Structures are given as structure tokens and as C-alpha cells.
Amino acid sequence: MIPVTQHSTAFQIVDVKKTFDTADGRQVQALDGVSFEVEAGQLVCMVGPTGCGKTTLLRLMAGLETPTGGQILLEGKPVVRPGADRGMVFQQYSLFPWRTVLKNVTFGLEMKGLPKKDQLKRARRAIQQVGLNKFEKAYPYELSGGMQQRVAIARALVNEPQILLMDEPYGSLDESTRLKLQDVLLALCRDHQKTVLFVTHSLDEAVYLSDRVVVLGGMPGQVVGDLTIDMPHPRERVSQQFVECLLHIRQVIADSALNDNGVDLVPVQRLNGHLPTPGPCCFQDIEPQRKNP
């Protein structure tokens, strides 16, 4: 975890529930009784199977949706709307097609009224961080999907929010760029004490980046595991400690699938038939509340 001047809590997610109304009049419950806290300066990854509510929870934390029950507190105050203290990177790029890469990245700074010289300096620094410094004058339609996502990441970074909410931001990138941007994010957290909530389907990415991994499971989604990863950076992906953490997270997801459906839907690799006892990982078992049929 990135050191901060004093112990403080950034987010408190308290018994959060979320239900959506469908076009045909039905109700779909996406989240049910989700609770956990995020300390300032932590990088927390949320993982779990498709449909367990990861993106929904991130949107609630951003203030883009309102909980049906429970509450989300940011530094002790309820989240009721989006704010400049939170930067969001979506799965979709959401770029302005009529603006160049540079102009897309400077947009938020223009809205803040920063001097043009400062806008350009900060925007070019963010663009260089994501490896697009040769494409400042390009328009979104001239870029690949992965390059467009890098522009979206730079646009979030340039506003220098204290909290980054990232919804699978590297999912569409090639492997080399993805690995590079993982290190860019870690450097950003180290140098600027950012608090990051990061949704990913890659367990490897979660273990590589995180101070903690929160595992969601079930439909509706609930917290089924919370793993603290006590390994220094840079982390070796082939180390025994790294692999043990991966195996534990996979087992939690597998157990959640088994509890929900009565069958093991997630094959888990075991060592000699057993999951190894973790060394640098501190795992907290969560017993989700199950509704009687």
C-alpha cells in the first residue's frame, strides 16, 4: 500500500443493494448486501465472474448510479453524484470524435479553466505515459481500439483526481501495452498516493497490481472473499508466492460458483490435490448470506 500521512478510510461500502427495473416490468437485483472498506492510498482490484455486479458497484462509487439500499461513503460523506475527486475510466472509450488525441486529453483541464500552457504540459505528459506521444494530432477514428482506450486512460490521469475508478481499462490492449500500463499505474500510485478501484477479469493482473483483491460472486453479487497481498513491488509473476495467491483467488471463485449452482463450474488447479497454504497473502473468508428459495 502507498504510504499516507495518517491512517484514513477513503470508501465505506455499507450493506449496498442495487435493483434495476427492466423494460418488461421485472426487477433484477444486481447487488445484495455488499460491504467493505477501502483505505486511502490502496489499490484494490475487484474480480469475479461476469454478472456478479463489479461494474455496477464501480458506477455506484462514481456516483453514476444510486443504491437501492445501504450507502456508499467517501471520506465519511454519502456519494450522491459524480465529483472531480474521482476519475472514471470506462470499458468503452467515450472519446469526442471531433477532437484530436491532445484535445481529448485537455478537455477536462479546459473545463477547469487552467492556462493553456499548463493544459498542454500536463496533457502531453499523460499522453507520453500511455505511449501515444506520436499521435497527438490524430483523431479517434484513426486509432485502433487499444489506442483509443489509452487516450481514455490519459484523459483520466491528466485531471489528477485523488481516486481512480477503472472498469477493465486494459482489457482491449495488447499484452505488451497492458504490462507497460500496469507499471505506469503502479508508478502513479507510488508517486501521487492515488486510491484506485480496479475491475478486471484477469487474476494475474489483480495479483500483480493490488494491495487487496475483493472477490464478488453470485447473482445478485455479494463479497465472497477479501485477499490482502503482502508482496513488495515489483512482483515476479512466476514466483511461488504469486502463484499461491492466484490459486487462492481461483478457489474462492470456484467455491462461490459451487455454492450458487451445486456444481463446480470453475476448474481449479491444485498441487497434489490440495490448495497450498499462502505465505504473503492474508485471506479473509466471507460467508455470504444466502436467501432461502
CATH architecture of 9-85+163-178+186-237: 3-Layer(aba) Sandwich (3.40)
Local structure of 226: helix, strand or coil: strand
Every domain of the chain and the residues it spans: 9-85+163-178+186-237, 93-160
Residues 153-202: tens digit of each pLDDT: 889 888 888 899 999 988 878 888 888 889 988 988 888 788 999 999 99
The C-alpha cell that represents 281 in the structure block: 497473502
Q: How does strand 9-21 pair with strand 27-39?
A: antiparallel
Q: Is the pLDDT of residue 282 over 50?
A: yes
The C-alpha cell that represents 46 in the structure block: 475487484
Local structure of 182: helix, strand or coil: helix
What percent of the chain is modeled with pLDDT above 90? Answer: 57
Average pLDDT, stretch 87-109?
A: 91
Residues 75-85: tens digit of each pLDDT: 999 999 998 88
Distance CA 170, CA 178 (A): 6
Please, which residues bridge with residue 193 across strands?
none
Topology alike, domains 9-85+163-178+186-237 and 93-160: no
Cell 489506442 -> residue = 147
Average pLDDT, stretch 13-39?
A: 93
70: nearest Cα among 198, 222, 284: 222
Average pLDDT, stretch 208-230?
A: 94
Q: Is the pLDDT of residue 121 over 80?
A: yes
Confidence of residue 10 (pLDDT cuts 50, 70, 90): very high
Distance CA 286, CA 98 (A): 48
Local structure of 134: helix, strand or coil: helix
Please, which residues bridge with residue 228 across strands?
212, 282
1: nearest Cα among 237, 211, 153, 240: 211
Could you tell me which residues come within 8 angstroms of residue 123 by beta carbon, excluding any fewer than 6 positions away? 102, 105, 106, 109, 154, 158
Distance CA 123, CA 141 (A): 20
CATH architecture of 93-160: Up-down Bundle (1.20)
The C-alpha cell that represents 61 in the structure block: 462509487
Mean pLDDT score of the chain: 85
Show the DSSP H helices in the chain as ranges.
54-62, 101-112, 116-129, 145-158, 175-192, 203-209, 240-261
Q: Is the pLDDT of residue 291 over 60?
A: no
Distance CA 278, CA 292 (A): 33
Average pLDDT, stretch 220-234?
A: 93
Average pLDDT, stretch 92-118?
A: 92
Residues 257-280: tens digit of each pLDDT: 776 654 433 333 333 333 444 455
Could you check whether the bond before residue 220 is cis, i.e. omega within 30 degrees of 0? yes
Distance CA 272, CA 154 (A): 45
Confidence of residue 289 (pLDDT cuts 50, 70, 90): very low
Q: Is the pLDDT of residue 5 over 50?
A: no
pLDDT at residue number 178? 86
The better pLDDT of the pair 70, 94 is held by: 70
pLDDT at residue number 201? 93
The C-alpha cell that represents 163 in the structure block: 481516486
Distance CA 266, CA 249 (A): 11
pLDDT at residue number 25? 85
Local structure of 225: helix, strand or coil: strand
